[in-house]
Amino acid sequence: MVGPPNCKPGSSDSAPSRPPSSRPQSSHPKAGGATRRTAVGLILGAPLLGACAGVQQSLSQFSNPFASPQPEAGPTGPQQQPLSVGTGGVKVGLILPLSAAGNAGLAAQSMRNAAEMALAEFQNPNVQLLIKDDGGSPQGAGQGAQQALSEGAEIILGPLFAQSVPAVAQQTRTRGVSVIAFSTDSSIAGRGVYLLSFLPESDVNRIVEYSAGIGKKSFAALLPDNAYGNVVEAAFKQAAARKGGRIVAFEKYGADRSGPARTVAQALGSADALFLADDGDSVVAAADALTAAGANLRNIQLLGTGLWDNPRVFASPALQGGLYAAPDPSGFRSFAGRYRTKYGSEPVRTATLAYDAVALVAALSRTQGAQRFAPETLTNPSGFAGIDGLFRFRSDGTNERGLAVMKVAQGGATPVAGSPKSFGA
């Protein structure tokens, strides 16, 4: 298993549980210029990918690490010239929307910095990054992939936007080259296209399994009627069935929450857990609608997803004591501290994805020989350890993450169950 530290996405400033330290064997890479604890580099059989760090990012569009970023309308900056970083013999393409408009371009710059930081912290990596600017468009992503492949790239990291991933896959599949993309849209995962992102399915599975473990078996749910809600609905119903749970009420809402909230509120007497999955502002509004409909939310265990990792949620009286699944924030906190020291600015929350991707390919290059990026290597069931904790790629291209369970409290969230140290079957 390639393993590293631990982490969770979190914009909370609360002190999370301490990440497990990875003590690699002498044959494992050490971090250059960093302590072993902060080191990075996934290693098969010895978890050790990067340290973590947490701080709330300031870019509004990317303050939610679980949202699917979309290209912004507006003028883009000048196309950035291709850049090579490192002198190793294993060439790796990195495709990001560096000149895209608005927050997308700013996030891409932060992700590029994180990728270069991973390369610097991994001692003597045999990797050369071929960085390409896709401008935030599918055409640009396809051209970037074509260039990287013509220069000898053995694997492609990126792109960020879901709409650009198929254009890259079209180039890579004919050559048998894998892609590790950063999109949260599971529908674009598939043969040779793996997603290293925060997928809502992992959140749902973790929180349902945890709640079942503490005796919650009768669920009510109130979800948004949108693409995110549809993904969460499917995962929730499957997870509840797997754990022998019963769904006593299930409603979805659009702009008007009052009707669905009344229906759910009336059924809460026969439920012992209420699942609310939406972003910070919206989940607070949903809780308020339930309260207005007569629900006493203090009498039921509230459950949520990683979107709850938001100051609005922590400040809501109605959501206090609620539980949600997310990466342990300690990982991101540590990472952000090192990033600030190196670059003098805050990383965006998605920067850890680029860091972990580069650390992963560096470790696999060192340990796996000619099979370093083969599908069997990338889908190793033991998984890998990164800044945001354990993760593993599934053969269908989606991923599974080892998440902690956090409890909502005034001023932040506190962990009630840590991230797993290893994956089950």
Per-residue confidence (pLDDT) for residue 411, from 0 to 100: 85
Of 287 and 58, which is predicted with more confidence? 287
Same domain, 183 and 230: no
Domain ends where: 273, 300, 326?
326
- How far is CA 117 from its chain centroid? 19
If pLDDT is split at 50, 70 and 90, which confidence band does 69 have?
low
Q: What is the CATH number of the domain that holds 364?
A: 3.40.50.2300
Task: Give me the phi and psi of 223, to 5 degrees please.
Answer: -125, 155
Averaged pLDDT, 53-74: 39
Same domain, 193 and 206: no
Pairwise CA distance, residues 221 & 421, whole Å: 30
pTM of the model as a whole? 0.82
Pairwise CA distance, residues 221 & 250, whole Å: 5
State the DSSP code for 46: B
Cite the beta strand spans of 158-226 per DSSP E.
Answer: 178-181, 193-195, 218-224
Pairing relationship of beta strands 127-133 and 178-181 according to DSSP bridges = unpaired
Pairwise CA distance, residues 104 & 100, whole Å: 6
Same domain, 213 and 322: yes
How many helices, marked H, and strands, marked E, lie in the chain? 11, 16
Within a domain: residue 352? yes
Which whole-number Å values give the CA distances from 391 to 242, 296, 336, 394, in the listed order?
Answer: 21, 37, 20, 10
Pairwise CA distance, residues 344 & 356, whole Å: 21
Per-residue confidence (pLDDT) for residue 230, from 0 to 100: 96
What mean pLDDT, rounded, does the chain reach?
A: 85
Pairwise CA distance, residues 196 & 225, whole Å: 26
Within a domain: residue 6? no
If pLDDT is split at 50, 70 and 90, which confidence band does 53 have?
very low
Sheet hosting strand 399-401, strand order edge to edge: 384-386, 389-393, 399-401
Per-residue confidence (pLDDT) for residue 76, from 0 to 100: 58
Q: With 0-12 CB in 10 A as exposed, 13-18 as middle and 19+ as buried, what is 5?
A: buried
Instruction: Let me know: does 96 contact 111? Beta carbons within 8 Å.
Output: yes
Pairing relationship of beta strands 389-393 and 384-386 according to DSSP bridges = antiparallel
Pairwise CA distance, residues 77 & 79, whole Å: 6
Q: Is the pLDDT of residue 22 over 90?
A: no
Spatial neighbors of 150 by CB under 8 A, at least 6 apart, are: none
Same domain, 73 and 186: yes
The amino acid sitting at 70 is Q
pLDDT in tens, 93-127: 999 999 999 999 999 999 999 999 999 999 889 99
Same domain, 170 and 295: no
pLDDT in tens, 334-359: 999 999 999 999 999 999 999 999 99
Tally of domains in the chain: 2
Same domain, 248 and 368: no
pLDDT in tens, 143-175: 999 999 999 999 999 999 999 999 999 999 999
Averaged pLDDT, 278-295: 96
Same domain, 111 and 233: no
If pLDDT is split at 50, 70 and 90, which confidence band does 70 have?
low
Same domain, 338 and 321: no
Within a domain: residue 257? yes
Percent of the chain with pLDDT over 70: 81
- Print the domain residue range for 297: 201-326
Within a domain: residue 23? no
Within a domain: residue 245? yes
Per-residue confidence (pLDDT) for residue 29, from 0 to 100: 32
Per-residue confidence (pLDDT) for residue 44, from 0 to 100: 36
Per-residue confidence (pLDDT) for residue 81, from 0 to 100: 72
Mapping DSSP onto H, E and C, the string for 111-159 reads HHHHHHHHHHHECCCCEEEEEEECCCCHHHHHHHHHHHHHCCCCEEECC
Instruction: Supply 414's token pair.
Output: 């506190």
Q: Is the pLDDT of residue 280 over 60?
A: yes
Within a domain: residue 415? no
Cis peptide before 71 (omega within 30 of 0): no
Pairwise CA distance, residues 24 & 4, whole Å: 9
The amino acid sitting at 89 is G
